[in-house]
A and B are shown apart, each in its own frame.
Chain A
Amino acid sequence: MAGSLQVLPGAAPRASGAAGGAEVDVRTVTKRFGTVVAVSAVSLTVRGGEFFSLLGPSGCGKTTTLRIIGGFEHADEGDVAIDGRLMGRTPPNRRETNMVFQRLALFPHYSVFDNIAFGLRMKRLSETEVRRRVNEALELVRLVGLEGRRIGELSGGQQQRVALARALVNRPRVLLLDEPLSALDLKLRLQMQDELKRLQRELGTTFLYVTHDQGEALAMSDRIGVMDGGRLLQVGTPMEIYERPATRFVANFIGDANLIDGVVEQVEEDLAAVRTSAGVVRARRQGGEQPGEAVAVCVRPERLQLAPPGGGLSALVEDRAFSGLVVRYRLAAGPLRLHAAVPYHSGTPLWQGGDTVTVAWDPRQAVVVRER
């Protein structure tokens, strides 16, 4: 694969000559461990040069899927193609992927330099070339000067960057990242998220990122694949997934959601009317809803508007919590429980427990969500 320099809009071309990211095509992959189906008929295509995240709770199969792509597990059914080439049972050392492991797996008996140089030495590059590329990698992750240190002497964030450098120095077409930031504290994590995004933009390598933190996925990814129970539920840009969650699970998992159960009464052009315990409610359709179908209406807390009582949906304020940016209210409208998050500035009317309010929202800000 000749190295062609891919210049992305807004990014400076890198002298390292990254060959651009490869496309990863997961084709109906299924993987079982004993009686447990860890990955169930998952199909997705990660575009070359994309920052793609696999998002889901623990045990949803995202890490297993990642490991199958990396060659550490073999799919029971289905296959993975990288740039059109089927991988089959090709072992990891023969794939153009490199992985950053969750617990980093840095070699404790090697220095920073030797850790990063490992892959290059496996390729039998000359020591001059090795030194050149390791230094390049150190610059990339901003660890110049620390190459002589032992792994145990580094901080968590520094170790993180060594793991990154060790993988990237080999110029993989696909970089696999298995929840690499989960061990870091919040501030460091946010910092590293920025760095990862910057790196990905500069290098143009395909990044395949696994995480259970939806905020992280939303912030960094070009596209996200949401998984649960071994199944891929939805693939889309962060905006798409947030605005138009395909299933109840996705709606709940990404951001906060009010989910009002109901039955479809009427279907219009882009709205649907749903009969719920709070009366008939309208929301945006996603397509394919049928009258009589059991669905849920998803309204994000920040979209709820509270007004003094009088007409419309009446609710009792149960609790209030202040968190700087917003005031969160827990409301009870008959059998329904709703959460509202009202942006706060001084002067905003505040309600308290026991007050009755009217709850309303713009139908276009709510969306109909199916079960599965």
Chain B
Amino acid sequence: MKLSGTAVLGLLAPGLAAMAVLYVVPLGVYFVNSFHVFRDGRILPVWTFQTYLDYFTDPFSYKVIAESVRLSLVVTGLALAIGYPVAYALQTRVRATGTRALLALLLFSPLLVSVVVRTYGWLILLASQGLVNTALRAVGVIDEPLSLLFNTRGVVISLTHIMLPFAIFPIYSVMGRLDRDLKDAATDLGAGWWEAFRHVTLPLTMPGVVAGALICFTLALSAFVTPRLLGGGRVQVLPRMVYNNTVEINWPAGAVSGLVLLALSMAAVWALNAVLRRLPSV
């Protein structure tokens, strides 16, 4: 059914109004605050780049940015490395659609529970007397419990867990759209399993991998709860900076660090989208 111009406008009006008032304006206010300055416990509503200057001349800022980016890259890499084989196995080794749907649901299920609950689960698992350490000691891999909490390691493990479904599903979805005959054709033409995978499956599932990377990276970059609960004071990431600045009423600094976070996210989105456009689609 074709919608007239007025109809379209009418349908979009509530959404546009809501977004304008509740999304654009708050972001705008946020942006404006970055130009103010925080002195002696008060925010001076002046217009200056001073806060930006203070931020970018502080070596600590770069340390935080580096830590955030590094953490996100590691987590994204791990999530994709684990997620790809899992998606592949789910797509190709599970015939019964009922079982497949069940497994997909199970893989998706952690997202239905708050990140607080999931992080808490890791808090228990990674404790010095928790399951992970107990199991490793029982098997004899280690003698002393590993220190996995209140440092980067625990954060990496937990964030990878949180990102995993976001890595699995885009890859799984692209794999599902892949023409089954393509693999048969490659085999028919003499390719062994590895060659068929390398020449056909892998290149054609790249769009899924890139989409997964995009989601994982941006979500990991903006993660707050997990680094805070599992990282102790040692994991300094951008969202943490934003939070700390904001509760100390240093809104301008909070705004600047938040905008840096936003800029990094946008850069990642833009870069990965550019890669995505260049890939052959299925």
A interface with B by C-beta (< 8 Å): 70, 72, 91-93, 97-99, 101-109, 118-119, 122-123, 166-167, 170
Contacts and interface: CB of A to CB of B under 8 A. Distances in A.
- The B interface, classified by DSSP as helix, strand, loop or mixed, is helix
Interface stretch (B142-150, B188-196, B212-220): B188-196
Contacts of A107: 182, 185-186, 199-200
B89 to A, nearest CB: 20
A183 B186 CA distance: 22
A123 B185 contact: no
Interface in B250-282: 280-282
B190 A103 contact: no
B220 to A, nearest CB: 29
B130 interface: no
Instruction: Report, nearest first, the 8 A-B pairs whose CB atoms are least far apart.
Output: A122-B190, A119-B189, A105-B181, A109-B280, A105-B185, A101-B181, A92-B187, A92-B188
B203 interface: yes
A93 B188 contact: yes
A98 B184 contact: no
Contacts of B179: 103, 105
A164 to B, nearest CB: 13
A293 B280 CA distance: 64
A80 to B, nearest CB: 15
B192 A103 contact: no
28 contacts: A70-B188, A72-B187, A92-B184, A92-B188, A93-B187, A101-B184, A101-B185, A103-B179, A105-B179, A105-B182, A105-B184, A107-B185, A107-B200, A108-B204, A108-B281, A108-B282, A109-B280, A118-B189, A118-B199, A119-B190, A122-B190, A122-B191, A122-B195, A166-B185, A166-B189, A167-B188, A167-B189, A170-B190
B281 to A, nearest CB: 8
A108 B280 contact: yes
A163 to B, nearest CB: 9
Contact residues on B (Cβ < 8 Å of other chain), bracket: 20 to 34
A70 B184 CA distance: 10
Nearest to B206: A109
Contacts of A101: 181, 184-185
Contacts of A93: 187-192
A211 B216 CA distance: 47
A254 to B, nearest CB: 29
Given A70-B188, A98-B189, 19 more contacts: A91-B187, A93-B189, A93-B190, A93-B191, A98-B188, A101-B185, A104-B181, A105-B184, A106-B185, A107-B182, A107-B186, A108-B282, A118-B186, A119-B188, A122-B189, A122-B191, A122-B195, A166-B185, A170-B190
Nearest to B280: A109
Contacts of A70: 188
B190 to A, nearest CB: 3
B190 A123 contact: yes
B1 to A, nearest CB: 31
Which residue among B179, B185, B199 has the maximum number of chain A CB atoms within 10 Å of its CB?
Answer: B185
A19 B70 CA distance: 60
A167 B189 CA distance: 7
Nearest to B178: A108
A174 to B, nearest CB: 12
A98 B186 CA distance: 10
A123 B185 CA distance: 15
Nearest to A103: B181
A175 B189 CA distance: 12
A205 B218 CA distance: 56
Given A103-B179, A122-B195, A109 B187 contact: no
Contacts of B190: 93, 119, 122-123, 170
